[in-house]
Amino acid sequence: MFSFLAKKLKFLQLLKKNLSQDQEEQNKSPQLTANLKTNLQMIKNILGNSDDIIIRPFVLGTKDQQEAALIMIDGLIDKASVHDFIIKPLMLESRSLNDNDSLADSIEELTETLVCIAEVKKVKTLDELVNDCLKGDTALLVNGHPGALIINTRGWKSRGIEQPQTEVSVRGPREGFTETLRVNTALIRRKIRDPDLTFETMTIGKRSKTDVTIVYLKGVVRPGLVEEIKKRLKKINTDLILESGYIEQFIEDAPFSPFSTIGNTERPDTVAAKIMEGRAAILVDGTPMVLTVPLLFIESFQTMEDYYSRPYYASVVRLLRMLSFFISIMAPATYVALTTFHQELLPTPLALSMASAREGVPFPAFLEAFLLGLAFEILREAGIRLPQAVGTAISIVGALVIGEAAVSAGLVSAPLIIVVAITAISSFAVIPQSDASAFIRFILFLLASTLGIFGISVGLLGILIHLATLKSFGVPYLAPFAPLKPADLKDTLIRFPLWLMITRPSSITKKDPQREKWGLMPRPQDDNNKG
């Protein structure tokens, strides 16, 4: 026991040592010298013999020639701009241009005269140089000058802006985020052309060095939110960030909850709307999925299209989504509870027809529903990652085997097939909570098969208590219902007309509360006066 504890303690101490060593290493990064050869040697030592590293030595000027070198990574650079705007001016035009005694007094002068690219900066340490090169920049080193110029030449093959696959809309913009961070920030900037829109970037991942950008609207964002996000992001000390899901799992409020407390979306218009409501978004390089915080439970039932179409149908659809969420978590549980414990609650004709359908089924209702639910989940998982042609084959096989054969063979009853099918369809209606609902469905199912309706009620109450405890970045998850903010109810069960959504949601932010003027209701002038 004690030895075990001692071992643990030692392990922890080792970890701490490692961490502090890392920090020390970071602090003493070697400076770039004035000697080109030493610099190149140092760079070669760090970058090794990788094929994709291009080191291009050349000579500057004619009179007193200066040795120089360009360092870049093949595939990450835009070759045309490197050729036309860096190599060409430096090698050719420097000869014709310069008759003075020395070519450049300092390396910065090159920027003013020869390098024809917008974004140029100077670095002094080796680490900065290597990091920037690995991002796709080109480094220029000149003999006799300490430091290097970093010229932005980033450009690689990337997917174009396409319609988002996960959130398709009938009405509304068709563009979705891409894998390139810069394109994504531009997409947001194009929606909100406000000088207050702020992007703050930090690098996360010891080895992947992924750029992560926080987006918010200064003057509207929830006070303290950005600081809190930064605090949590800074704590992430891992080697690899591949997707925003990595970030999400490191910064979420309730890691053990089935409910997600951080939203994600692929649509720039959704992000713009959420930023306008005082939220902040987290963009991660290399993924089209953007995180938005804080997330409220009610957001799972909202889509951007609700706001684009007129309020009546949007409200009905929203209520439908809520209903389907409840169906998706409760349907199998209710079926089991009714057939096993509370047959008396069914109207007599229904009870009789269900009993006759179940006649000859060899399993108890619990096992029957469990097996069929399992089969459905397997079908879904099998179909989801296959090419579309094979996916269709799977669904046909599944529908035939499960829908027809299983019933006619007397293995499962037909009403249960209906229940499972309704559950499946309903769970697709509320995609943001589909993970949570699968989990809850199973728990409620277990409770129902042991305790009937009482079990379901206990389960639902337990979920309610859990939801009431959840917070997302300081905002209660069930807001604006609990705690009750009557003014915020305008955008929950029923979507009010846009001209009535006068204030920003006060559960998110209280800054700049009024977002539109009063009395914007369209009142057409009665201009065909008949008098």
Give residues in contact with another protein (CB under 8 A): 341-342, 344-347, 451-458, 460-462, 464-465, 468-469, 476, 478, 481-484
Do the beta carbons of residue 71 and residue 129 sit within 8 Å? yes
Cβ proximity to another protein, 65 vs 315, nearer residue: 315
Report the distance separating Cα 481 and Cα 464, nearest Å. Answer: 12
Cβ proximity to another protein, 183 vs 468, nearer residue: 468
Query: DSSP assignment, residue 167?
Result: S
Cβ proximity to another protein, 371 vs 458, nearer residue: 458
Report the distance separating Cα 140 and Cα 143, nearest Å. Answer: 10
Min dist. Cβ of residue 342 to another protein (A): 7
- Which of these, 151, 131, 132, lies nearest to 140 by C-alpha position? 151
Cβ proximity to another protein, 224 vs 483, nearer residue: 483
Min dist. Cβ of residue 224 to another protein (A): 17
- Which of these, 410, 406, 385, lies nearest to 397 by C-alpha position? 406
Instruction: Count Cβ atoms within 10 A of the Cβ of residue 296 and give its class: 0-12 exposed, 13-18 middle, 19 or more buried.
Output: buried
Q: Please, which residues have CB within 8 angstroms of residue 62's CB and are 6 or more apart in sequence?
A: 94, 95, 98
Min dist. Cβ of residue 334 to another protein (A): 9
Min dist. Cβ of residue 485 to another protein (A): 9
Give the Cα-Cα-Cα angle 492, 185, 298 (nearest 5 degrees).
Answer: 15
201: left (phi over 0), alpha (psi -120 to 50) or beta: beta
Cβ proximity to another protein, 344 vs 527, nearer residue: 344
Report the distance separating Cα 413 and Cα 366, nearest Å. Answer: 12
Cβ proximity to another protein, 148 vs 330, nearer residue: 330
DSSP 3-state of 410:
coil
Min dist. Cβ of residue 123 to another protein (A): 48
Min dist. Cβ of residue 489 to another protein (A): 11
Residue 324, CA atoms < 13 Å, CB-side half-sphere: 22
Q: What b/e sequence results for 321-335 when a residue is b if at least 16 CB atoms lie within 10 Å of its CB, and e otherwise?
A: bbebbebbbbbbbbb
Pairing type for strands 120-123 and 53-60 reads unpaired
Min dist. Cβ of residue 453 to another protein (A): 5
Cβ proximity to another protein, 205 vs 476, nearer residue: 476
Min dist. Cβ of residue 341 to another protein (A): 7
Please count the other Cβ atoms lying within 10 Å of the Cβ belonging to residue 370: 18
Cβ proximity to another protein, 216 vs 301, nearer residue: 301
Cβ proximity to another protein, 104 vs 456, nearer residue: 456
Cβ proximity to another protein, 246 vs 259, nearer residue: 259
Min dist. Cβ of residue 478 to another protein (A): 6
Min dist. Cβ of residue 440 to another protein (A): 15
Do the beta carbons of residue 372 and residue 417 sit within 8 Å? yes
Report the distance separating Cα 153 and Cα 82, nearest Å. Answer: 7
Min dist. Cβ of residue 262 to another protein (A): 20
| Element holding 445 (H helix, E strand) | helix 434-469
Cβ proximity to another protein, 346 vs 357, nearer residue: 346
Q: Which two tokens stand for residue 3?
A: 């030895």
Cβ proximity to another protein, 110 vs 456, nearer residue: 456
- Residue ranges of alpha helices (H) inside 310-433 are 311-340, 348-358, 365-384, 388-398, 406-408, 414-429
- Residue ranges of alpha helices (H) inside 341-364 are 348-358
In whole angstroms, what separates CA 418 from the centre of its chain? 35
Q: Which two tokens stand for residue 258?
A: 């089935």
Cβ proximity to another protein, 216 vs 481, nearer residue: 481
Please count the other Cβ atoms lying within 10 Å of the Cβ belonging to residue 481: 19
The CA–CA distances, whole Å, from 119 to 103, 122, 134, 138, 187 equal: 22, 11, 16, 11, 20
Report the distance separating Cα 290 and Cα 292, nearest Å. Answer: 7
Min dist. Cβ of residue 460 to another protein (A): 6
Min dist. Cβ of residue 236 to another protein (A): 28
